[in-house]
Amino acid sequence: MTSHSTQGLAGVVAGRTALSTVGKEGCGLTYRGYSIEDLAAQATFEEVGWLLLRGELPTAQQLTDYRARLQSLRELPAALKAVLEQLPDTAHPMDVLRTSCSALGCLEPESATAGTFDVTDRLLATFPSMLAYWHWFQTQTKRIETHSEEDSIAGHFLHLLHGQRPSELHRQAFDSSLILYAEHEFNASTFTARVVTSTLSDIYSAITGAIGTLRGPLHGGANEAAFDLINRFTTADDAERGVMDLLARKEKIMGFGHRVYRDCDPRSPIIQHWAKRLAEEVGDTRLYPVSERIEAVLRREKKLFPNLDFYSASVFHFLGIPTLYFTPLFVFSRTAGWAAHVLEQRSENRLIRPTADYIGSEPRAFVPITER
């Protein structure tokens, strides 16, 4: 019989990976052996994407070429623009990206490309374009060009969204958050991508499924929910009262806790640093102090620590990004990790098909409809 602790596959080793380690010594995160602290401080998102997908850091020339390649792939096919124009302004942006990914899979199927790397590059290059195109069409009925002179995905999206070049501080803050979100072992959306891949399906199907999984508030949707919480309070004292009330009602506080990390989420102090810098830049005296107080209350009352989503919410807000776009930004980044897992799953594939403990009725005689 399944015990409660194995429900949700908690603690179950469901495969092997050379991509990342999560929670070693309670608190660590590495991508291909490099610590998240080193990558966030010294690399760029494109370098990390290359590392995850190809196994080694790129040389300077490889990185220049890779940036140029991604830059050249940002244009959306006319048929995809037509799809985006048909989607209502009430659609959740995660649904927009999920549909767009699936639509691109019809227009440029994997079987018609040179392979998985090509599709991955195309998705990394076009997800920001898809969201920005839909944004401008739905808010201003404006059909934007989806290229810019920015050679980073972070700079490109901020440029498209705000219609002007971002400051270096904003580009760096966003780039750092993309690095932190890029990969996280067998999390729910990555596992989805691996299950889809294990049936020998295509990469668009794997990533479309992963986007659907990421959308929920227990996973990627937590950054959106965390901001709604933080933004409710006017002062730190108000936040303390509000969070104590929520805890008394046994409600979950989004952006706290983790399935694997036991002591801390190593990404949190890195993103918190950016939240603090951006708060100082805009002269914020509300959101950052409120966030710090919520963190203190959760530590004191429940011994819970913030995960990446908690301070990311403020970072994205200070970058002028609408709350509903927070989880889509996670997609821009995690696409690198998802695709690397698709490649890894294919390299030693076996159909993922677990079994279940049956808890239903004992065998019984069928009752014809006339006798029921």
Q: Which is nearer to ligand COA, 150 or 309 (CB)?
A: 309
Q: Which residues bind ligand COA (CB under 6 A)?
A: 8, 218-219, 222, 252-259, 302, 304, 307, 309
H-helix segments, the chain = 36-42, 45-54, 60-72, 78-86, 93-107, 116-140, 153-162, 168-181, 188-198, 203-214, 222-230, 236-248, 267-282, 287-302, 308-318, 326-347
Q: Which is nearer to ligand COA, 166 or 255 (CB)?
A: 255
- Residue, CB closest to ligand COA: 257
Nearest approach in angstroms of CB 364 to ligand COA is 34
CA–CA gap between residue 71 and residue 69 (Å, rounded):
5
Nearest approach in angstroms of CB 208 to ligand COA is 21
Nearest approach in angstroms of CB 186 to ligand COA is 13
The burial class, CB within 10 Å (0-12 / 13-18 / 19+), for 101 is buried
Q: 251 to each of 200, 229, 235, 256, 330, how far by Cα in Å? A: 40, 12, 21, 12, 25
Q: Which is nearer to ligand COA, 129 or 307 (CB)?
A: 307
Q: Which residue has 């705000």 as its token pair?
A: 162
Q: Which residue type occupies 11?
A: G
Task: Report whether 321 contacts 169 (CB < 8 A).
Answer: no
> What letters, b where the CB count within 10 A reaches 16 and e where it falls short, cover 280-291?
eeeebebbbbbb
Nearest approach in angstroms of CB 321 to ligand COA is 18
Nearest approach in angstroms of CB 310 to ligand COA is 7
What amino acid positions are annotated as catalytic residues?
219, 258, 309
Q: Which is nearer to ligand COA, 122 or 259 (CB)?
A: 259
Cβ contacts of 265 within 8 Å, gap of 6 or more: 27, 258, 305, 306, 307, 308
Q: Which is nearer to ligand COA, 10 or 79 (CB)?
A: 10
